[in-house]
Each structure stands twice: as structure tokens, then as C-alpha cells.
Amino acid sequence: MTHWLELSKAERVDAVIALGLPKFRAAQLSTHLFEHLSDDPDTWTDIPKSLRAQLAEQFLSPLLSEVTALRADRGKTVKTLWRLSDGNLIESVLMRYPGRDTLCISCQAGCGMACPFCATGQGGLQRALTVAEMALQVFRAAQACARGDLPGGPGRLSHVVFMGMGEPMANFPRVLATLKLLTAPTPDGFGLSARNITVSTVGLVSGIKRLADSGIPVTLAISLHAPDDALRNELCPINKRIPIAEVIAAAHDYFQRTGRRVSIEYALIRDINDQAWRAERLANILNQGGHAWVHVNLIPLNPTPGSKWTASRPDVEAEFIRRLERAHVTVTLRDTRGSDIDGACGQLATS
Ligand code: SAH
């Protein structure tokens, strides 16, 4: 039977009718799940007891089982390794910041993009995740926040970033359906604000266009990592097919169509992409579209096991930031949450 998180509102009604139940049972179940975040049938007291077990069995197959949960940053970062029903492993990371709880989710088991600095990229693609497998990561994290599992007490999951394992644009139809579920108002969905959701891509322009077409104003992040095609061909091999100019044009178009400022992700790798001239070249590329459309998010490289690469020296990092700022590019330095728990993409599942 199809998982509840896989079904549209209309399909949920059809599904309960197919079981010979009145259609209001669909609204009841959705209210328990999305409003009360309760998948424990014992709490569904407005549904007859015998029916609760049946509904749970029909619509809430487990899909994800927790393998390990690692905590860092005094418990404010929790990285969970999940096993899918077919044995594949994925990760999600929950981070509590002042005033917001952010979850980083996976959209594929593995990844086919083969970026050499990324742990997930080394193992290749196992398979795409279903809508329910993506949404269930969000559900579990929302439960953890509501229960007060993180220091600071009960909170509300407010932000979701597609920055875990996988390439969202390579699983586009399911990612889009997941975005619809995340942004649908409760009790039909999670009721998250599209503005609090970020979809990060290596730069598959067809997906960027389709995301703009969808009309869901999420934040778009582009993993650029280099301002010149020669280097980006190495760091992100897909660049040989979709060069920087095309990626930037699609990102700029996304900004123009949605009004959402685009985020450029740039992992600073010592002596590889952190030279001052590359900062200036990056600024030149971005400034061709004006100043307001974009900001740069620098990520200190989180070295993966066995990698020859490491993070930039502090003075080099500071100079890179200075050059961008001098060219009027807005820049932030990503905190390195969870680097002590193999926080880099895919490290846990790989080990
Ligand atoms: N496929 C998507 C999501 C990937 S992970 C994408 O490419 O955007 C999210 C971000 O983490 C990407 O910018 C990715 O390049 C970056 N990343 C992967 N491994 C990293 C590492 N070891 N250190 C720092 N950033 C890393």
C-alpha cells in the first residue's frame, strides 16, 4: 500500500474510500500526522481503536529505520543515519540555531555527480528517494523538535535544506512533489514557508528552469566551487557538459522570475580554488548580473577520509572574503556544524 506521505490530498481521500471508510478519516489521519506530528495510533483517540491499527499498517510503513544518531555542538547538531527498506543508507542532519531549527535532508541514496571532494560522490548513485522517504526525514525531525530532543526545549522545525546526499535536480519530479507537501498548509502538509526551504544543485539547468516554473519560491543554491571552467571541470565533472556561463545564466533567470536571491556555494579548498585572483574572477562573473541577485556562501572544506585536499588557511580565507567584499559581493562564511561527527556530505553512510 502507498505511504500516506506519498499521496496527494485527493489520493488520500480515494485511499480511505477504497478501504470502505468515510472520507473524513483522511482528514483525521492527516491532522494527527501533520498538525500533531503523531504517528502513534494510540493517540488517535477520535478514531475507533480497531481502525487505528489498520490505518497505521496500510499507510505508515516504517520506510526509515534509525541506524545511529551522532550529536555534536553540545547536542545542537544531530546527524542521523537511516536505513531504507531495501538496505540503502542515507543521512539527515538537524541543527538548532537561535530562533530556528534547520534540517538538511537527502534526496538520493548516493549521488551520480562524482564531485571528487564529496564523500557521497565517491560511492556513485544507488537510487533516487521516494517522496515519502524524503518527507519522512522531515517528519522525524519535526517530531524531535516538538518533543524537545534538542537542548533548549521544544521547538518547531522551521527550515529544510536539500543539501544532504544526492542531486535534487536529478530526482526532480519527486523533489517537486516533496516541496509541495512541505509547503502545503497543515493539516494537508507540513505548513513550512517556501522561503525557509533551500534546494541546492550542482547546476543542472533544466531542473533550475523547472523549479522556477513550479512557482514555489524556494531559495536556490548553486554549488559553484570554481569561477573558471578548467578547474570546475575537475571539481564538478558535470561542468564539462554544463559550463559555468550556462549555470550562472539559469541562476540569474531564477532570480528574475522568483525574486529570490540566489546563494552560491563555494567550498574553500587549500591551494586549489582559494587564490585571490579566483575571488576576483568569481566577483566579476556574479557582478555581470548586478549586485542584489546573489550572495556567496563560503564553506571551509570538510576533508573526506583519504582525500588529498583540506580547508584553506585562515589568512587565505580572510583574503578571499576581502576580495569579494571589495567587489561588493555579499559573502558569508558557513559555520562548520558537525565536522567532528563526519558532518561532510555522505561521510557517515560511506563509512
Ligand atoms: N548535489 C547538491 C547537494 C549536495 S551537498 C549540490 O551539489 O548542491 C550540499 C553542499 O555541500 C554542496 O555545495 C556540496 O558541494 C558541498 N560539499 C560536499 N562535500 C563537501 C565537503 N567535503 N566539504 C565542504 N562542502 C562539501
Determine if ligand 1 sits within 6 Å of the CB of residue 177: no
The whole-number pLDDT of residue 349 equals 61
Q: Is 233 a domain residue?
A: yes
Instruction: Judge if 190 and 131 occupy the same domain.
Output: yes
CA 248 to ligand 1 centroid distance, Å: 17
345 is an active site residue: yes
35 is an active site residue: no
What rounded mean pLDDT belongs to the chain? Answer: 95
Give tens-digit pLDDT for 122-167.
Answer: 999 999 999 999 999 999 999 999 999 999 999 999 999 999 999 9
Determine if ligand 1 sits within 6 Å of the CB of residue 204: no
- Are the beta carbons of 145 and 94 closer than 8 angstroms? yes
CA 183 to ligand 1 centroid distance, Å: 24
Instruction: Judge if 81 and 99 occupy the same domain.
Output: yes
**pLDDT surpassing 90 at residue 341:** no
Q: Which of 59, 85, 106 is the last residue of a domain?
A: 59
Candidates 231, 234, 299: which one to mutate for ligand 1, based on the most atoms within 8 Å of Cβ? Answer: 299
Candidates 95, 205, 345: which one to mutate for ligand 1, based on the most atoms within 8 Å of Cβ? Answer: 345
Q: Is 349 a domain residue?
A: no
Instruction: Judge if 28 and 155 occupy the same domain.
Output: no
The whole-number pLDDT of residue 350 equals 58
| pTM for this predicted structure | 0.96
Strand order in the sheet with 330-333: 64-72, 77-84, 89-97, 100-104, 157-162, 197-201, 219-223, 262-268, 294-300, 330-333
Q: Is 346 a domain residue?
A: no
Q: Is 99 a domain residue?
A: yes
Q: Is 350 a domain residue?
A: no
SS3 (DSSP) at 102: strand
**pLDDT surpassing 90 at residue 27:** yes
Classify strands 64-72 and 77-84 as parallel, antiparallel or unpaired: antiparallel
CA 24 to ligand 1 centroid distance, Å: 43
- pLDDT above 90 covers what percent of the chain? 91
The CATH number given to whatever domain includes residue 29 is 1.10.150.530
Q: pLDDT band for 100, please (50, 70, 90 cuts).
A: very high
Give tens-digit pLDDT for 216-235.
Answer: 999 999 999 999 999 999 99
Instruction: Judge if 72 and 196 occupy the same domain.
Output: yes
Instruction: Judge if 37 and 107 occupy the same domain.
Output: no
Q: Is 225 a domain residue?
A: yes
Q: How many domains does the chain have?
A: 2
Q: Is 347 a domain residue?
A: no
What would the DSSP string read from start to end of 88-99? -EEEEEEEEETT
State the residue range of the domain holding 146: 64-341
The whole-number pLDDT of residue 291 equals 87
Distances (CA, A) of 209 to 233, 253, 257, 278: 22, 8, 10, 28
Determine if ligand 1 sits within 6 Å of the CB of residue 118: yes
